[in-house]
Structure 1
Amino acid sequence: MTLEPGTLMGPLWTLLAFVGLGWLAARRLSVDPRPIATLLIYLIAPLTFFRGLVLGGPTPAYLLVTGALFLCASLVALMVNRLARHALPDEESAVLAFSAGTGNTGYFGLPVALVLLPPTGVTLYLFGVLGVTLYEFTLGFYLSARGRFSARQSLLKILRLPLIYAFLAALAVEALGIGVPDAVMEGLEVFPPTYTLLGMMIIGMTLGRVTLRQFDWRFIGACVAVRYLLWPLLALGVVLSLQATVGLSTELAMALLLIGVVPMAANVVVVAMELGIATEKGALAVLITTLAAPLLIPLYLGWMAPLVGG
């Protein structure tokens, strides 16, 4: 399998264009990104998530993939959180812990999945992404909130998150055989691209307020190490272990490897802004890992794919 860096240039330039629009909005129009972050978390993300689940038609096998990715993301985040608390200030360690369990699996990873994987593999990839997203708005949000709030306050904030209830609603729709009207599904089509656009613009809005003294090499280096060293090796180790024991299809193996090599998630900035913790440093780390993606993703996948039969 070969993946040319040029394959990723389309998604990269689109992402950077959205970031640039956000920078202009903050610098020239004085747009406040905080209400946009709240809108993304409490309205746009839940509806996007609900639509994706309903369209995917969750089956026990697909939900097993979702659950496995949720568990894996949670364990990585908890491990990094334990280590980071001894090396970084509370707010920075909270952002690092949150980012450790997630990645830009959606807007950046999905175009690559569509190039690399057959339709079955793309479906498996999407249900893996759902597990990562579920982590973001449950345990990930809790770990981020703990950088500033008490355990009780953090749990209350999670209970207020509508994405959890959107997930349960989608499962109920599938279990009860309730058909969502076509008009409703057509209306929900606007939310995924809106989520991508506003999520990336928030990074640009945040970068518009960054100063050189906020460029923390220790924090950014830790983010890059987790995303581009820990996750690729973890994904490869899990895939090889499953292939040697229970057996794993090539499509699922490649989907898991791809989830392991994408850059940092834009939601790192969205959640950090909603909670008011280390937003500027998170935005810098997301931008740096995104810029590195066209070089590193082909390198990693070109090395790992032959090992798993891809």
Structure 2
Amino acid sequence: MSLDPATLMGPLWTLLAFVGLGWLAARHLAVDPRPIATLLIYLIAPLTFFRGLTQGGPTPAYLLITGALFVAASLVALLVSRLARRALPGEESAVLAFSAGTGNTGYFGLPVALVLLPPSGVTLYLFGVLGVTLYEFTLGFYLSARGRFSVRQSLVKILRLPMIYAFLAALLVEASGLAVPAAVMEGLAVFPPTYTLLGMMIIGMTLGRVSVREFDLRFISACVAVRYGLWPLLALGVVLALQATLGLSPELAMALLLIGVVPMAANVVVVAMELGIAPEKGALAVLLTTLAAPLLIPLYLTGLAGLAGLG
């Protein structure tokens, strides 16, 4: 398996253009990113998530993938959270813990999945992404909130998140056999691209307010180590273990490897902005890992796929 770096340049330049628009909006139009972060978390993301679930027609097998990715993301985040609290201040450790369980599986990973995988593989990838997204707005949000709030306050904030109820609503629709009207699905189609655009613009808006003193080499190094060190090894280990025991289709194996090598999630900045916990440092780390992606992802996927016998 070989992935041309040029394949990634289209998604990269698109995302960087959105980041640039956000920077211009903050620097020259004095746009405040905090209300946009709130809009993303409480309105746009839940509707995007609901549409994706109902459109995909979740089956027990697909939901098992979603659940497995949710558990994997949660375990990684909990491990990193325990280690980070010993080495970093409260807010920075909270951002690192949140970022440890997620990656840019949607904005960046999906265009790559569309190139690498057949339609059935893309479906498997998307249900894996749903598990990561569910982590972001449940345990991930809680770990982030704990960088500034008490346990009770953090739990209350999670219960107020509509993402949980969007997930339950989608499962209820599927279980009841109801079909979402075509006009409603057509109206919801505007939310996924809006989610991508605003999510990446927030990075630029945050960077527009960053000074040199916000560059924290220790924090950024930890983010890079988790995203481009721990996750690729974890993805390879899971694929090899499943191949040796239960058996694994090549499409699902490649989908899992791709989830393991994407850059840091833009939602790191969105959640940090909403909770007021070091969004500037998070934005720098997200930008640097995204810039490195066109070089690292082809190398990682080629090497990991070879080790997993997918070459």
Residues 116-154 of structure 1: per-residue CA shift (max 9 Å, x gap) = 111111000000000000000000000000000000000
TM-score, length basis structure 2: 0.99
Asked if residue 175 in structure 1 is aligned to residue 175 in structure 2, the reply is yes
Displacement of 1:30 in angstroms is: 0.2
Structure-to-structure mapping, 1:195-210, within 5 angstroms: 195-210=195-210
Structure 2 counterpart of 1:197, one-letter code:
L
Contact 1:250-1:309 at 8 Å conserved across structures: no
Q: Distance in 2 between matches of 1:109 and 1:217?
A: 26
Please, what is the CA RMSD of the aligned residues? 0.4
| Residues 171-250 of structure 1 aligned to structure 2 (within 5 Å) | 171-250=171-250
Other-structure match for 2:278 = 278
Aligned partner of 2:124 in structure 1 is 124
Tell me the equivalent position of 1:134.
134
In structure 2, how many angstroms separate the alpha carbons of the residues matched to 1:307 and 1:254?
A: 12
Q: CA deviation at 1:289?
A: 0.2
Structure 1 gap segments, 5+ residues each: none
Q: Deviations over 1:62-99 (max 9, x none)?
A: 00000000000000000000000000000000000000
Residue identity matched to 2:145: A
Residue matched to 1:33: 33
**In percent, how many aligned pairs have the same letter?**
87
Partner of 1:109: 109
- CA distance, structure 2, for counterparts of residue 309 and residue 120 of structure 1: 20
Once the two structures are superposed, the pairs formed by residues 17-28 of structure 1 within 5 Å of their partners are 17-28=17-28
**Aligned to 1:2, what secondary structure does the other structure show?**
coil
Deviations 1:138-173 (A, max 9, x none): 000000000000000000000000000000000000
**How many Å apart are 1:307 and its aligned residue?**
2.1
Structure 2 residue aligned with 1:297: 297
Gaps of 5+ in 2: none
Q: CA offsets per residue over residues 29-83 of structure 1, 9 Å max, x none? A: 0000000000000000000000000010000000000000000000000000000
Tell me the CA shift for residue 196 of structure 1. 0.3
Question: Could you say which residue in structure 1 is the equivalent of 2:10?
Answer: 10
Task: Give the equivalent residue in structure 1 for 2:146.
Answer: 146
1:181-232 Cα deviation digits (max 9, x unpaired): 0000000000000000000000000000100011000000000000000000
Partners of 1:99 and 1:264 within 8 A in 2:
yes
Misfit runs of 4+, over 6 Å? none
CA distance in 1, matches of 2:113, 2:24: 31
Equivalences for 1:52-63 in 2 at 5 Å?
Answer: 52-63=52-63
Give yes or no for contact 1:207–1:280 (8 Å, CA) kept in 2. Answer: yes
